[in-house]
Amino acid sequence: MTSQELRQKYLDFFRAKGHTIIPSASLIPENDPTVLFTTAGMHPLVPCLLGEEHPCGKRLTSCQKCIRTGDIDEVGDDVHLTFFEMLGNWSLGDYWKKEAISWSFEFLTKELGLPIEKLAVTCFEGEEKNNIEQDNESAKLWQEQGIQKERIVFLGRDDNWWGPAGLTGPCGPDTEMFYWVGEEPAPKVFDPKDKRWVEIWNDVFMQYSKTADGKFEPLKQRNVDTGMGLERTLAVLNGYDNVFAIQEFEPIISKIKELAVKPNEKAIRIIADHIKAAVFIMGDSHGISPSNVGQGYVVRRLIRETIERGKLIGVKDGLVVPVAEIIISIFKNIYSELQKNSDFIIDELIIEEKKYNKAITEGLPEVRRLYDFYRTLGEIKLVGGKDFFNLYQTHGLRFQLIFEEWDRLCQTFKTPNLSLINRKEEIASEYSNELKKHQKSSQTASVGMFKGGLADNSEIVVKYHTATHLLHQALRQVLGEHVAQKGSNINAERLRFDFSHPAKMTAEEIAQVEKIVNEKIKADVPVHFEMLSVDEAKQKGAIGLFEDKYVKLGNQVKVYFVGDPSVDSGQAYSAEICGGPHVEHTGQIGSFKIIKEEAVAAGIRRLKAVVGK
């Protein structure tokens, strides 16, 4: 079975059961500032699971693009992927366990033709402390479908509970379906620890909401949320022992093999996974570029690791672009945004590959210098994670690369006494402490949201944050109040701001916006923030992402004001919901210049601007 067949079968099946097929939402969550990426099909539907009406009704089905970075270090094994597609069907306060389970069973056995002898399920065992009962109802429904009692196992929260996707929100117990992939007949009694039972689908019964103080309150409606990982299910259905064996990966992997001088299976898998994830994040309707913050940091990490792995298997230059081109051509018919953004994706990849090659060229001699320094000292105990972190910070070299280079130097110069192989864990932990310290001093919204992340809180980036607020307000002043932020991306070199506006900006309009921003900078206006309720923020004229109302800290939003704090902040020049950080006085920005104006999509313009002395 091909992925196209599985997608189609799934969506058609649920359409026939009264579901509306909805398109995949963006990979960049629009309503949830607590996570970087959409991690499941239910994620964009959170408001509707909480009771908001969905324009397409109470029964929905989709194939959702997802990114999960939590297990990124596991990629290369048989099952983990950073980017994957998730098939799902939802009941928003409509049908409940009976329909969900019977349809899951019907789809697996009739549509996919899986024999009941190879199926088993788990159900939630209950939890006294939160007053949640064992899910006997689901177990009984499975038995009614013909699943034997011995094939039903009850497990706890670690296995049979899902959500919330962010810190708070809808969640509930689930029932999970397993398929036997062993060569011998499936054992009568189901043992979920036996790896030959592979999980292929789960039905989550979302009936609780986790509150900010960790309690589980019943939702006002009972929802069903199901999720089937497309790649994993396809691999199982086709009898493959790993997700990289599915048809869609074939041309990607052959291309990498063609470019490699000494192919290595694991490296090839990582490269295929990472370029695919980077292409989908950059090609998203929100178009993320590699950077040191938020989603951009993840893209950077994916590309940089790819380049390093590429070097290990002997690829000289130009690994990323040819592979990305193949990925775009495979998926452009299903995800048209990839085609639309292909120039952007390829341009950004070329720039990032160049940058990292430069970082490596300049950074590796620094590793050598560090090595020579300690070699002269002859006192290996002294080299530590802090040294490695400094190299990361100044040259952008990733930990693994520094480590491997150090090891290579030890072998070349035959200095086993300097080897760090046995101290890897210790060094890595010192390194990550340094990283955490650095993150602590940073207040950007992306801190701690993903493993290994590094938020950029440098002086220059902070200036850009405030300049963006001034720009947003000046645009509203010059072009009109219809201007609303559609996206923003900042790195140490420039700011990028996407906003709604129907026409190309004229040279006069650009000059006027620049002039206003520079006047505000010159006036050296103070910047401060207040924690406000959504209503108060609105009263004070705050702009920004009010849709974030579903997931916020307590009931408050943080609003940054550019204006005299001794006067009512409702009078401030700019008021915008934002996590910060910002400069204290606009004068710190120095000066402001727009360097580019262009279209990104119908009705959406993009500005790039720089700040200076």
Q: Which residues bind ligand SER (CB under 6 A)?
A: 40-42, 88, 162, 202, 204, 225-227
Nearest to 189 by CA among 151, 148, 140: 151
CB 202 to ligand SER: min, Å: 5
CB 64 to ligand SER: min, Å: 9
CB closer to ligand SER out of 227 and 287? 227
CB 230 to ligand SER: min, Å: 12
Could you tell me which residues come within 8 angstroms of residue 3 by beta carbon, excluding any fewer than 6 positions away?
85, 230, 231, 234, 246, 247, 248
Distance CA 3, CA 246 (A): 8
CB 41 to ligand SER: min, Å: 5
The tokens describing 246, both together, are 């599915």
205 bridge partner residues:
224
DSSP secondary structure, 380-400, as one string: GGG--HHHHHHHHHHH---HH
| H or E stretch covering 364 | helix 342-377
CB closer to ligand SER out of 91 and 202? 202
Q: Are 516 and 477 contacting, i.e. CB atoms less than 8 angstroms apart?
A: yes
Q: Are 499 and 472 contacting, i.e. CB atoms less than 8 angstroms apart?
A: yes
DSSP secondary structure, 154-167, as one string: EE-HHHHEE--SSS
CB closer to ligand SER out of 89 and 341? 89
CB closer to ligand SER out of 162 and 399? 162
CB closer to ligand SER out of 124 and 560? 124
Provide the 8-state DSSP code for 556.
E
Q: Are 326 and 252 contacting, i.e. CB atoms less than 8 angstroms apart?
A: yes
CB 531 to ligand SER: min, Å: 31
CB closer to ligand SER out of 40 and 397? 40
CB closer to ligand SER out of 38 and 586? 38
CB 413 to ligand SER: min, Å: 50
CB 176 to ligand SER: min, Å: 9
CB 40 to ligand SER: min, Å: 3
What is the Cα 4 distance to its own chain's centre?
24
Nearest to 575 by CA among 564, 585, 566, 563: 563
Q: Are strands 20-21 and 59-67 parallel, antiparallel or unpaired?
A: parallel
Q: Are 92 and 85 contacting, i.e. CB atoms less than 8 angstroms apart?
A: no
Q: Are strands 216-229 and 556-562 parallel, antiparallel or unpaired?
A: unpaired
CB closer to ligand SER out of 87 and 367? 87
Measured from each CB, the residue nearest to ligand SER is 227
